Amino acid sequence: MAEDTITTTGIARHGATRLPSVEVDSFNIELKDDDGFLGDRASRKAFRKILDDLRKPLKKNGDDPLGKKASGEIAKSELDEALASEDIAAAALVHSAIEEFAQELAHVTRRFLKTKAWADTERIVVGGGFRQSRVGELAIARTDILLKADEFEVDLVPIRFHPDDAGLIGTLHLAPSWIFEAYDSILAVDIGGTNIRCGVVETRWKKAPDLSRATVWKSELWRHADDEPTREGAVKRLVKMLKDLIGTAEAEGLKLAPFIGIACPGVIDADGSIEKGAQNLPGNWESSKFNLPASLVEAIPEIGGHDTAVLMHNDGVVQGLSEVPFMQDVERWGVLTIGTGLGNARYTNRRKENSKDEKKSRKSKD
């Protein structure tokens, strides 16, 4: 019980299925076929492989319009430039890769939509680093067309915020509403297999109570994959980043909430431990002896003179949560994040007004 109190600090449970604005119907589903995990067919790496396979016969003839650079080393901006260039062969090559990838993404999305957890999904938001390019946007748009051609009544749209910001802004939707009335900003952490990003997120709640105008005020990025730290070293660096942001926010006069929202890969248990899916993080984060929320509460026990509360959820779930204000015209929606793998989550909006209407109807009947 003591440990549970330390890691949840009385606000909510980590990895909860019921959040203030939505029910998380499922997340991190691992669908398989004969070739392995389906998500691997619609990842950033999968797109690069498709591009590489298309270039192989051209390389043999010395006709590769993308030059000698390996497919995995070509920047997204370079592919975008190829699309818009006057080199028709280069543009056609990239378009061909987009078409093949869209076919794969459509196949994977159909499989999700046929699962019980994703039944009746009305809209799917696509995030992750792949989305932040013209190539990604075209692949998403083409996949949307393919799904509609198969008579799936679902819209596929790019995530609104920059994916780096979405992973931080989404943590606002883990927090209880009283935080927005009392404070104007929170601390957010987005942990990935390559980077750890920390930021101060301004709620702008007074301008938009639905949090649609929230923004990342300041953020810091650490590419931990380059440093190959130990688990303890990674936590130490994370704590320093957070303390630096606290100092900067206080110096600038922001009213920072005593709350840290965390987006982290894997299946997050209620006590803050990670059940599985954290294999790309530095060290063993799935150990029963390791608890990141507890470690942060111990290192940063107070913010602004108040006890620190920490809440952690799956990174795909959190990135999708940044879209909550813009999903109020549908009931059931999901997110797919295209990165190292394919993150996924499905939500059902919680209609708070329904409970009020039910009470009114009961009174009228009485």
Mean pLDDT of 314-322: 96
Single out the residue of 220, 118, 130, 217 nearest to residue 172, CA to CA: 217
Mean pLDDT of 91-119: 96
Q: Which of 33-47, 164-178, 188-202, 283-297 has the lowest mean pLDDT?
A: 33-47
Q: What is the pLDDT of residue 3?
A: 43
User: How many separate helices (H) and strands (E) can be counted in the chain?
Assistant: 12, 16
Q: Binning pLDDT at 50, 70 and 90, where does residue 258 land?
A: very high
Q: Binning pLDDT at 50, 70 and 90, where does residue 33 land?
A: confident
Among 33-42, 128-137, 198-207, top mean pLDDT goes to 198-207
Could you read off the pLDDT of 120-143 as tens digits, one per residue? Answer: 999 999 999 898 899 999 999 999
Q: Which of 26-30, 110-114, 308-312 has the lowest mean pLDDT?
A: 26-30
Distance (Å, rounded) from C-alpha 165 to C-alpha 200? Answer: 10
Mean pLDDT of 147-154: 95
Start-to-end CA span in the chain (Å): 43
Distance (Å, rounded) from C-alpha 322 to C-alpha 343? Answer: 15
Distance (Å, rounded) from C-alpha 104 to C-alpha 126? Answer: 14
Q: What is the pLDDT of residue 362?
A: 42
| Two tokens, residue 327 | 């999903």
Distance (Å, rounded) from C-alpha 253 to C-alpha 107? Answer: 50
| Two tokens, residue 180 | 């927005």
Mean pLDDT of 209-230: 94
Distance (Å, rounded) from C-alpha 297 to C-alpha 3? Answer: 11
Q: What is the pLDDT of residue 125?
A: 97
Q: Binning pLDDT at 50, 70 and 90, where does residue 333 land?
A: very high
Q: What is the pLDDT of residue 223?
A: 92
Q: Does pLDDT of 92 surpass 70?
A: yes
DSSP string across 187-240: EEEEE-SS-EEEEEEE--TTT-TTSTT-EEEEEEEE-HHHH---HHHHHHHHHH
Percentage, residues of the chain above pLDDT 70:
93
Distance (Å, rounded) from C-alpha 269 to C-alpha 44? Answer: 28
Q: Does pLDDT of 1 surpass 60?
A: no
Distance (Å, rounded) from C-alpha 354 to C-alpha 345? Answer: 24
Single out the residue of 226, 201, 227 nearest to residue 214, CA to CA: 201
Q: Does pLDDT of 150 surpass 90?
A: yes
Q: Does pLDDT of 178 surpass 60?
A: yes
Q: Does pLDDT of 53 surpass 80?
A: yes
Q: Does pLDDT of 80 surpass 80?
A: yes
Output the CA–CA distances (angstroms, integers) from residue 306 to 292, 300, 311, in the order listed. 20, 11, 16
Single out the residue of 48, 120, 100 nearest to residue 78, CA to CA: 48
Mean pLDDT of 333-355: 85
Four-CA torsion 59, 61, 67, 68, nearest 10 degrees:
50
Q: What is the pLDDT of residue 7?
A: 47
Single out the residue of 171, 166, 205 nearest to residue 188, CA to CA: 171
Q: Does pLDDT of 182 surpass 70?
A: yes
The pTM assigned to this predicted structure is 0.89
Q: Which of 33-42, 44-53, 116-125 has the lowest mean pLDDT?
A: 33-42
Q: Binning pLDDT at 50, 70 and 90, where does residue 10 land?
A: low
Q: Binning pLDDT at 50, 70 and 90, where does residue 340 land?
A: confident
Q: What is the pLDDT of residue 36?
A: 80
Q: What average pLDDT does the structure give for the chain?
A: 91
Mean pLDDT of 348-359: 62
Q: Does pLDDT of 355 surpass 90?
A: no
Q: What is the pLDDT of residue 136?
A: 95
In sign, the C-alpha dihedral spanning 228, 231, 236, 241 is positive
Chain centroid to Cα 271, Å, comes to 21
